[in-house]
């Protein structure tokens, strides 16, 4: 069924890295009012594991974004679901599945920064910095990868593959 997938990051590697990230995030935000913001849908698995690895209190909320524009250029960012929790006076950690070109994250981080938080930082499972087009700093990252169309562990292709426990490169079947 999954003959078109090449393993890239194992579930064991993800679990180990998430524990490291949890320790780093906990140290960074010890004693601070932290709101962890998950970007739906792709970050749901990663976010769940990250917040369970924290050793500090944190609140969790979600945004769901849609970008309306040309296929390969940034468009207008729309919140399909905005935060329910106010961000003013809090430290915000956005958790994303993958930061590639950076357009959506740059827009989201700007919107959140305009709401007067104490700080806004970004945590991503995968940082594809080589493909970055917008200036976005990934403060905490799981893995840096240069290429590949990735699926699994929340990452999808046409809503498929999200529930796989590891990350794979999706290879399109020949003739497609």
Catalytic residue flag (residue 160): no
State the pairing for strand pair 167-170/150-151. antiparallel
Burial of 98 (0-12, 13-18, 19+ CB in 10 A): buried
Alpha-carbon dihedral sign for residues 162, 104, 142, 146: positive
- Given the residues 49, 97, 100, 127, the one annotated as active site: 100
How far is the C-alpha of 151 from the C-alpha of 5, rounded, in Å?
9
Q: Annotated active-site positions, please? A: 100
């Amino acid at each position: 069924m999954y003959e078109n997938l090449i393993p890239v990051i194992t579930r064991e590697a993800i679990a180990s890295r998430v524990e490291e990230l949890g320790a780093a995030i906990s140290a960074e935000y010890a004693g601070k009012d932290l709101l962890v913001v998950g970007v739906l849908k792709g970050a749901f698995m990663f976010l769940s594991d990250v917040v369970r690895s924290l050793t500090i209190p944190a609140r969790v909320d979600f945004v769901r974004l849609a970008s309306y524009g040309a296929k390969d250029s940034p468009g207008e960012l729309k919140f399909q679901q905005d935060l329910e929790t106010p961000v003013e006076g809090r430290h915000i950690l956005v958790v994303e599945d993958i930061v590639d070109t950076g357009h959506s994250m740059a827009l989201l981080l700007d919107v959140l920064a305009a709401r007067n938080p104490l700080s806004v930082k970004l945590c991503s499972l995968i940082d594809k910095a080589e493909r970055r087009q917008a200036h976005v700093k990934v403060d905490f990252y799981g893995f840096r990868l240069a290429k590949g169309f990735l699926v699994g562990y929340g990452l999808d292709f046409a809503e498929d593959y999200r529930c796989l426990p590891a990350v794979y490169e999706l290879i399109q079947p020949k003739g497609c």
